[in-house]
Structure 1
Amino acid sequence: MRRWGLVWVLLLVVTLGLSLPKLIACMEDVDVDAPRAEVDDDDFWEDIEDDEEPATASKSKSAAVMVDFTEAATVLSSKGSPVVLAKIDAIVNQITAGRYKIKGFPTILFFRNGSDEIFPAGLSSDEIVNWIQKQTGHPATTVSSSDEAEVILSKNKTVVIGRFEEFQGSDYEQFLAASMEVSDVEFLRTTEAGAAKAFSAAMADSVPSFGLWKRDEGFETFDGAFNTEDLAAFVNLNKFEVVTQLSSQNVGKIYSSSVKKQVILFGSREEVSAVRVLYKAVAKRFKNALMFVWVDNADEDFAKPMLTMYGIPDDELVVAGFDNSNGLRYVMDAEFNEQNLVTFAEKFVRGNLDLHYKSERIPKENNGDVKVVVGKTFESLVLQSPKDLVLLVHTPYCFDCESMGKAFVKLAKHFKGDSSLIFAKIDASANEHPALKVVNYPAILFYSADGRTKEPEVGYIKPYIKKLVKFVDEQVQRRTAVNSDLSQEDERSETVKEVIIAPDTFIASTITDADSLKVADADSGLKGSFLEVPSPTDPESELIAGTETSAVPPRSQVADASEVVHIVEKENRDREVEESDSSEISHKDEL
């Protein structure tokens, strides 16, 4: 074992089994002549606390970081950097990974004088190189001539440059401090007018001067006061391209921008390329107010979760909006063209966009016993339904949702003869509506036809037919009682009806001034099914019930003959439920 001396090491810790690359810290006994080496637990320093030289650590959940890591190693080696980059498999070498409590992905740690701190840079090759150079060398690269400037411009996409009379003084110190604040952009310094002119003609005549150069957009001049905070803020605001691809590698950097509202273009690389000129032209009009980005729908690991979050298809070109300050989402429903995009952006800036609630496509056929509700049809099918509606709210990932779905189909068939009830279901993972407020799944919601402006009754019920039937019956009876209370005074003066129950048909005939209501079976006569409901003038009198009619409530709780029909029908259904439970639900976990 040998100590490296003045050698700094960037160690990439990879979990090959999970394809989750990670960077961590410093070791000994590796080939320091190679730009990238490989180590294991036996190589790792046990006495790193005694070392005064810095080392670095990082992790990423994208195997693509391996490409950037190797590229950064090559660049640093060509620049003569003393940093050696290496990798270690954390699955095989768990001691090293465990020692630094590597849990989150990505995480970067910086070791100095035996202590570690969070590494602030990203995992692209440029970010790794810039950060390492600032930590191990001078925070700003000196440009001495126009030729040197041209070489830099040919190799970089984005750089920051400051011109000074000399490399000292307050303005220069603020410049250096800003350089340390911004880790992902290379800072340049010069005292030469010719070198400055290569970036911007204006810099040749202004000292001190400061600005940011981007290959696709040219030079942006800083016109504020030379202080660290303003200089760093200027760079962070302007360092992104007018249109930037949003990916797993830069999402954190983009979300940390001071511009919190993002216009997002979802599409394939070919689709985005076809509209890029238009998209970029609109983006320039809203610079510093909105950040315009695009997402490649082919990038399943990154794009799919976002598409799911918005509830939009992966085979269409879609423009969306996201406010990172509050998490609100928007979608442009209009056709993709310049005018519609400008209108969408203007409303986004002013805060006048309608919130987006995701929705699956409206089903072409929807005639089953259980209707399918999506976000776009929630208003018409649920909130505007003329009948009582029982809604199953489910998700594909909840534990009981599959068995509840099967039980719910049986429930709908059980009540199929009741024309006053509609049964429907909605997948809450793919559909949203402001009036749908459910946090636990599965849930059964009962929407009363005469109370849709109120919150629905919510039931979290085990997927058993008997329990589901009981819940529905209770909600219908509760609605019946409410209706009765509201119309009780009028009801006392109304006539009482005699209801004849024919097979599959209900016929109501009116009788006047009666103190009782008679219900008979049209096919079999009374046969003991005759019942009397006490007069509403005597609400305390007891119910005189015939065969199997004990569940019928006092007359004061019955609004009209149709409710009595429901009561008698309920008695028949209850018998069916008992039979169903005994024959179909023979053990606890059948459903």
Structure 2
Amino acid sequence: MKTSKVLKMIRVPVYLVLYFAMMHTFEAVIIELNSDNFDTEIYKVRIALVVFHAPWCGQCKKLMKILPDIDKKLQEFPEPVAIYTVDCENEGKATCDQYHIGGFPILKSFLNGKEYGRFEDSREVSNIVDFMRIESSPVATKIQDFIELESLLKGEKRVCVVANLLEGSNMETIFLELADKMRRKICFLYRPIEEGDPWIKVYRHPKLWNKLEDNFSEYTGNESVSSIENFILKNYHGLVGIRTYANRNEFNFPLVTAYYDIDYENNPKLTNYWRNRILKIAAKYKNKFNFAISSKNDFNDELRELGVDYSSDKPIVVVVLETNEKYILSDNFSVDTFDVFLRNIERKTLNPYLKSQKPPEKNDSYVVTAVGSTFYDIVMRSPNDTMVKIHAEWCGHCKKVQPTYKKLAKLMRDEAITFVEIDGTENDVPVAYTPTGYPTIYWSTKNYRMNPILYKGDRTIEDFIRFIAKHSSSELKNYDRDGNLRSVKTEL
């Protein structure tokens, strides 16, 4: 349906009319749909952006102000993209229920009438336009040759996977399957060939290219979706990736992060000056640590949590191990001090930083209180199986379960089990014991300390006992594997 020259609005709210009138520098084409016409209209275009909103929502009103600017840019695409809005409080309520809209505003893409993707970034014009550019593009782009590959890569904001593939081959099928799965994060380019050697390469973003590291990594494994996907993810960031708040969970431990002023827009030379020095050492320890750089301004809360003074112009280096042990470079950063710092961590000659309360002078005879500095001795080095309750002082559910937990510990005092509790807001715990909320309860067997089992059952004595009896490393004295109390034998 062509809408580039016609203003089409179906039941337009008053505030939308005012916004569009104030910012009417071109012919807007934003259409409001309702539950009666949504299914019909959404199928009339190949690709569309739908904004689910509510009249009382302040963020929705802010978004409505920039929708004309977004629409203007979407009409410049090779295939213009339609924008629809749906009022979830009035005539569009049934449609919003159908698409499980639970907050406002929600932006979703629709392809050939079906829900395709959901916008998750900050609601700025450029971010929304980039999102729809990806949504409206093929999952993988065919190219005739690689003569202009470098210019293509430099014009792309995403990391690119580039391939030379035999037409109709299994590898081509796998490549397109991965492209469909990973397209929002990664750009896929390929050249179909009738003969020759196929290959797949992961190209880092051009702003990370330098003489200390190859611009790409070439895949040499078998024709497996999971194998190629793992290769892409492993090589996505290169030796030293840019860790942001949005992608922080993509970096594996042990992780070495250097915090400093990162500004590729206004000061790329200084940004790469420090990154290159980090790269030099990263190449030496690449099989032992993972490396990243982060903006100290974006992560000032993270640094403040560690008690770090982040006023220095030089990088601040923090290392976090799989066990959640943290190390902070106390010397002024240089290639030499950085190298010595990592070497000492590797040799285990440094004491880790731990967020920790003071250990209590006395401990309950049935439930042991751990803090950050005593967690390893009490839990990781315990000869017994261990149940760990992670709580917060302000948590009502934690207070409710506390009497049950103490009663359970007392009831099972004859078993080889240590019952532990720790305040998760005031103490560091190993990554494997990261709380998913409060309270979080883990079961840790003595032979698998780094793979605790998350307790998901009801918080009753009976359910706790059944769980413990099932998962204990050896059978309990007083309960069978189903949690039933053993019968007491008496001699006549």
Task: Give the TM-score taking structure 1 as reference length.
Answer: 0.42
Structure with max Cα Rg: 1
Point out which structure has higher relative CO (alpha carbons under 8 A, 6+ apart). Answer: 2
Task: Give the TM-score taking structure 2 as reference length.
Answer: 0.49
